[in-house]
Amino acid sequence: MFELKMRRGWKMALSEGLRFCRRIVSWVPVLVIVLVVLWSYYAYVFELCLVTILSPAEKVIYLIFYHAIFVFFTWTYWKSIFTLPQQPNQKFHLSYTDKERYENEERPEIQKQMLIDMAKKLPVYTRTGSGAVRFCDRCHLIKPDRCHHCSVCAMCVLKMDHHCPWVNNCIGFSNYKFFLQFLAYSVLYCLYIATTVFSYFIKYWRGELPSVRSKFHVLFLLFVACMFFVSLVILFGYHCWLVSRNKTTLEAFCTPVFTSGPEKNGFNLGFIKNIQQVFGDNKKFWLIPIGSSPGDGHSFPVRSMNESQNPLLANEEPWEDNEDDDQDYPAVSSSLAMETET
């Protein structure tokens, strides 16, 4: 008996140790980004502006615009990292009694019916590919529309998009706006550095400037800025396309299944309203990393639904035209159907 307890104790200690090591390792990509950004700040401000550039007016102009972009770049990166993913509220969790009934029931068809009965009390309209209610057996909750379980964060995340190792966070309803802004300001940051450094890169290359320590920083700064710009502009372009269609990354790879069946354009409300679903109605907050996404992340308006079934659409004005507006869509309700874990 004593040996059995000792073995369990060692297993628990080992498991906790592995979890701790994984948490430490998960911060390595963030540390890499932070170090690169700190070096780029030093290389641009000190080696380029203060050492290489001789014109005082040019120095001031370059530094003012650089720091304006840098502030928004670091601000959005901070918000992407430290804005916690939002989890479903308590009403989506199974009560103690329901949980006991569900776990004690051995017949799958009865379990399925139990979930259907529980979901009737909730604003949940999507299903799995087999038509069952989307249920997380780890968090013991009925998943709200567009919610998914993240295996890295070990929790269900509202409107989950993906888990990003570069911010060591799950991107979802609470921080997707910040993540998109971070990509935009990252692209702008790299583009600004590349365009302002390029002329001095040419001068160093032609030998018009003395070969001093700053030469290495300026040459490498252009190379790093261009390399990151190419990768970031592709990623940013992809997410702009997702926003224009009102899709998440998971939904782009796995078509949402509604109560009426699969519908890949179920959340497409038109270009302008799709943008407003992420950034909100007030345009003055679109460029600032302040939470302005509408709703609470538990339910979402969809492209076509009877207003009596979805009160979110009751006072909506007609959707903007887009290339698919002349098509007929079935009456659907909302969200990602088949469970996808990341």
Active site residues: 164
- Please provide residue 24's backbone torsions phi and psi, each rounded to the nearest 5 degrees: -65, -45
Q: Residue 207 has which token pair?
A: 């030998």
The answer to whether 335 and 253 have CB atoms below 8 angstroms apart is: no
CB proximity list for 207: less than 8 A, separation 6 or greater: none
User: What is the Cα–Cα distance from 183 to 162, expressed in whole angstroms?
Assistant: 15
CB proximity list for 118: less than 8 A, separation 6 or greater: 94, 98, 133, 142
- Give the amino acid at 152: V
CA 116 to chain centre: 30
User: What is the Cα–Cα distance from 53 to 63, expressed in whole angstroms?
Assistant: 11
**DSSP E strands, the chain:** 135-136, 141-142, 148-150, 155-157, 162-164, 169-171, 257-258, 261-262
The answer to whether 87 and 143 have CB atoms below 8 angstroms apart is: no
The answer to whether 299 and 173 have CB atoms below 8 angstroms apart is: no
What end-to-end distance do the CA atoms of the chain give, in Å?
Answer: 39
- Please provide residue 136's backbone torsions phi and psi, each rounded to the nearest 5 degrees: -100, 115
DSSP codes joined into one string, 4-38: HHHHHHHHHHHHHHHHHHHHHHHTHHHHHHHHHHH
Query: Helix, strand or coil for residue 126?
Result: strand
